[in-house]
Structure 1
Amino acid sequence: MKRLYGASPLHLLTLGFAFALVGYVVYVAGFETFWNKDVWWQSIGVWFAGSVIAHDLVLFPLYAVADRTLRFGAGRTHRFRVSPLNYVRIPALGTALTFALFFPGIIQQGSETYRAATGLTQEPFLGRWLLLTAALYGVSAVVYAIRLASTRRLS
């Protein structure tokens, strides 16, 4: 099976289950709740095309250049015993994903609708996102410092 398929039978079973679950979610949410029954597939197509364009043509080149710049800067200095790359990449990824997730709240888009639905304002979103960003980078810096200290002791 592994030679024919390329992975274990458990992988194939898991993949089939995931596709079945996605199909069920699209069926339940698509036909009964959110989309017009006649054009629900068009909504998915437009969202997918927009995501491909936004990611592949805009975002990927930007973060590829940022990562290459970071690798170039870290590679030019040979004083690092432990590479700082992942200690910058991981908090940057967390920051970017939370920003993408909470972007409408951070820029207070739809504030009237949000207030009507929850009775709250969107004012704390930006401050909380900035605190989360600071915490992610702070924890990463502490872990990096611990890693540097432990490698110095071992050397």
Structure 2
Amino acid sequence: MRRVTRLLGTDPFRFSVLLGSFALTWYAFRLLGDEPEVPSVLLWFVAAAVAHDAVLLPLYALGDRALTGAFRGTHPAGVNHVRLPALGSGLLFLVFCPGILGLGAAARAAATGQDLEPYLGNWLLVTAVLFGLSLGWWVVRLLSRAVRGRGGSERENATDPAGRTS
């Protein structure tokens, strides 16, 4: 088994999942092979992967390093209370990016009769709600930890009915 893992570079299960994903991708492109949009979709996919790996990954890794440095020594669990709403906000931004940035307003107005004005405000509102809920949850966690800590010290000093300390 070790020789197989060394030969493949990973365990056999992960390698089989990788092969299966390649097979599924190949099958999807074979089905869509006659469609005129396939080359542009493939180009978009490659450009998105390169943009993610070359631009976005270093940016959010740098931001995460700064965030963990800011919380170091104080409340390390608070990092996740920033990461989660930032992730949600970032994913919403990626999904609704054209609407938030106002791109394609004329095409949307022609197709639906609606403008793109509410997108930015709604995205900012959802982002504020996500961060507010996360902050509220963090405060509840800190308060409950403080109450448990205070209650724990009282229990340590308590005596049982026989007069022995616990």
Interval of TM-score (by shorter of Structure 1 and Structure 2): 0.7 to 0.9
Structure 1 residue 139 corresponds to structure 2 residue 142: no
Q: TM-score, normalised by structure 2?
A: 0.70
Alignment root-mean-square deviation, CA: 2.7
Q: Distance in 2 between matches of 1:73 and 1:79?
A: 8
Q: Distance in 1 between matches of 2:32 and 2:144?
A: 51
Change (3 A) 1:50 1:13: closer
Q: TM-score, normalised by structure 1?
A: 0.74
Q: 2:34 aligns with which of 20, 31, 34?
A: 31
Q: What is the DSSP-based 3-state SS (H/G/I as helix, E as strand, rest coil) of the residue aligned with 2:77? A: coil
Counterpart residue type for residue 51 of structure 1: A
Q: Distance in 1 between matches of 2:21 and 2:145?
A: 42
Q: Distance in 2 between matches of 1:53 and 1:13?
A: 25
Counterpart residue type for residue 151 of structure 1: R
Counterpart residue type for residue 140 of structure 2: I
Instruction: Write the deviation string for residues 50-97 of structure 1: whole angstroms up to 9, x where unpaired.
Output: 12321122111111111111111111xx343x6200000011111111
Q: Distance in 2 between matches of 1:65 and 1:25?
A: 36
The structure with more radius of gyration: 2
Instruction: Write the deviation string for residues 100-134 of structure 1: whole angstroms up to 9, x where unpaired.
Output: 11111111111111111111111111011001101
Aligned to 1:123: 117
Q: Distance in 1 between matches of 2:123 and 2:80?
A: 21
Aligned to 1:60: 57
* Aligned ranges 1:140-155 → 2 under 5 Å: 140-155=134-149
Q: Distance in 2 between matches of 1:22 and 1:28?
A: 10
Change (3 A) 1:110 1:149: same
Count of residue pairs the alignment pairs up: 144
* Aligned ranges 1:9-88 → 2 under 5 Å: 22-23=25-26, 25-29=28-32, 31-32=34-35, 34-35=37-38, 40=39, 43-44=41-42, 46-75=43-72, 78-80=73-75, 83-88=77-82
Q: Distance in 1 between matches of 2:36 and 2:49?
A: 25
Counterpart residue type for residue 134 of structure 2: S
Counterpart residue type for residue 58 of structure 2: P
Gaps of 5+ in 1: none
Deviation at 1:23, TM superposition (A): 4.8
Aligned to 1:104: 98
Change (3 A) 1:30 1:141: farther
Q: Identity of paired residues, percent?
A: 39
Aligned to 2:89: 95
